[in-house]
Amino acid sequence: MRMLVPALAALLLIASPAAAANAEGTITAVDPETLTIVLDDGKTYKLPGEIDMSAIKEGIDIVIAYDVVNGTNLITDMEIFE
């Protein structure tokens, strides 16, 4: 029984879903080949594959929701302020 509780706790931590988070800032770099943007906080975020890249430009203010999956910030939702 002593081993069951720590083993269950470890299993729950490993099987937990990706952590959701939010960020806002100004886009400082756009890479259409890798579908990534960099915000003024210095972090890189991966855009969804179905995005219209013509709306994504440097200097635009943006609010994003993202999940961290395998160390990559994957954007799940965003709002652009021009």
Q: Where are the domains of the chain?
A: 19-81
Give the global pTM: 0.74
Q: What is the DSSP string of the chain?
A: -TTHHHHHHHHHHHHPPPEEEEEEEEEEEEETTTTEEEETTS-EEEPPTT--GGG--TT-EEEEEEEEETTEEEEEEEEEE-
Give the CA count within 13 Å in the CB-facing half-sphere of 11: 6
Q: Quote the pLDDT of residue 52.
A: 85
CATH architecture of the domain formed by 19-81? Beta Barrel (2.40)
Mean pLDDT across 21-25: 95
Structure tokens at 27: 């886009």
Biggest alpha carbon–alpha carbon distance for the chain: 58
Average confidence (pLDDT) over 54-72: 93
Q: Write down the mean pLDDT value for the chain.
A: 84
Amino acid 49: pLDDT: 85
Asked if 78 and 64 count as a contact pair (C-beta separation under 8 A), the reply is yes
Residue 47's pLDDT is 94
What pLDDT band is residue 53 in, cutting at 50, 70 and 90?
Answer: confident
